[in-house]
Structure 1
Amino acid sequence: MRILAFGDSFVIGAGDPDHLGWIGRALAGRREITLYNLGVRRETSADIAARWRAEALPRMVDHEPMRIVFSFGCNDCNLEDGALRVPTAKSLLNARAMLTEAARLAPVLMVGPPPTAEPDVVVRAEELNEHLKVLAARLQAPFIDVFRPLAADGLWVREAADWDGAHPGAAGYQRMADLVAAHPAWRTFTGVD
């Protein structure tokens, strides 16, 4: 099976000294899966929407099952010149387009944004997370909400605060990987169940 993972710095695992991030850890030991980690630091939903298809098509084959994962949102919620980098309504339009188009190519799954140690971003990201969850349900796309469990646990946010305010270290990424890997949608999506 091939899994294409599109997203931001959390997908790529920025800050992880082991360079695995949450998705590498969630797939640890799964030799039958080829992971294409296509996360790019600082990218918004608009950036990902502009590039995902061109990067997905060369990696897709007929002789092997394919899956597409999307995870983004925090960068949309950052302010730039006093305004959101991507307004919420546009983030949702981008997510709708990606999930709809990608589902025509392969099964899709979305992992919501994690919290950060930046209070203003946390409020906006939590709101966007809720909107993304509703959108995914309407599109019948599996959605894994990691925001609240990671915020409640505190490890992710503590590690992020100790480094750059957004990205955790190995333990934070492991915690997110554990949440994702245990989720029934992930287990079905990756062929565990």
Structure 2
Amino acid sequence: MTTGAIGHRICCFGDSLVHGVRDGEKGGWPMRLARRLLDEAGRDVTIYNLGIRAETSEGLKARWQDEANLRMVEEFPTVLIFSFGVNDANHAEDRGEETTMRVSPAKSATNAAEIIGAASKLAPTLWVGPQAVINGSKSSQEINQRLEGLNQIYLETARGFDVPYLDLLATTLVDDTWQRALRRGDGYHPDKFGYDRLADLIWEWGAVQKTIGLSASDD
């Protein structure tokens, strides 16, 4: 392990899957990302885990910029990472056989465009797409179907703003490690092994390393 240079401040915004609910090691994938950047790349970055449990894109839109501004200083470059969507797709009301989304697809699309559009003007921005919930009951299958629609909207939004987007939905829907981790969790949040897997996928993506200026030989 090298000591490396102290540098970037990375703000990770999102919901409980960013925060790390049910993670026995605590800290979710942001903590693992910071550890990996130090241990494998010698970069002592500052990671801010700014995930809030149960938050939708509505709540995130209202708070992210104030929180980012509080953590931005001239001496250190900032990177913004966003991951949201599962709570938008979750059930707001039960009406017998029918349910409604907490945030409609149209509103979620608008929120996403506002968030990512403003963020990409403020600092280098990355977007980790929503992860599948457990592929089990009719209720969870419905959420995953909604997430498919949101994921496509988010992907097109990211392209429009030229923001790197990690599409995880199809992978996490069938990935044995992720789905087993969800079964050991609560169906929405994995145990620690699920967060390990998510951190691996984000690391393998390579966008974080590229954004902070790591060469191919560094990562």
After TM superposition, is the score higher than 0.5?
yes
Contact 1:11 1:23 (C-alpha < 8 Å) held by counterparts: yes
> Which residue of the partner structure matches residue 122 of structure 2?
105
Match of 2:131 among 114, 121, 139: 114
- Match status 1:68 vs 2:90: no
Q: What TM-score do the two structures reach when normalised by structure 2?
A: 0.84
**Structure 1: gaps spanning 5 or more residues:** none
> Which residue of the partner structure matches residue 9 of structure 1?
16
Distance of 1:191 and 1:145 partners within structure 2: 22
Residue by residue, what CA displacement relative to the aligned partner does 1:58-80 show, whole Å, maximum 9, x if unpaired? 11001111000110000000111
Alignment size in residue pairs: 193
Please give the residue correspondences for 1:71-82 in structure 2 after superposition, counting only pairs within 5 Å.
Answer: 71-81=83-93, 82=99
Contact 2:14 2:83 (C-alpha < 8 Å) held by counterparts: yes
What is the Cα deviation at residue 131 of structure 1?
1.4
Distance of 2:33 and 2:167 partners within structure 1: 15
Contact 2:34 2:46 (C-alpha < 8 Å) held by counterparts: no
> Which residue of the partner structure matches residue 179 of structure 1?
201
What is the Cα deviation at residue 57 of structure 1?
0.9
Give aligned-pair identity as a percent. Answer: 38
> Which residue of the partner structure matches residue 168 of structure 2?
146
**Structure 2: gaps spanning 5 or more residues:** 1-7, 39-43, 94-98, 135-139
SS at 1:191 equivalent: coil
SS at 2:122 equivalent: coil
> Which residue of the partner structure matches residue 69 of structure 2?
57
What is the Cα deviation at residue 184 of structure 1?
3.0
- Match status 1:83 vs 2:83: no
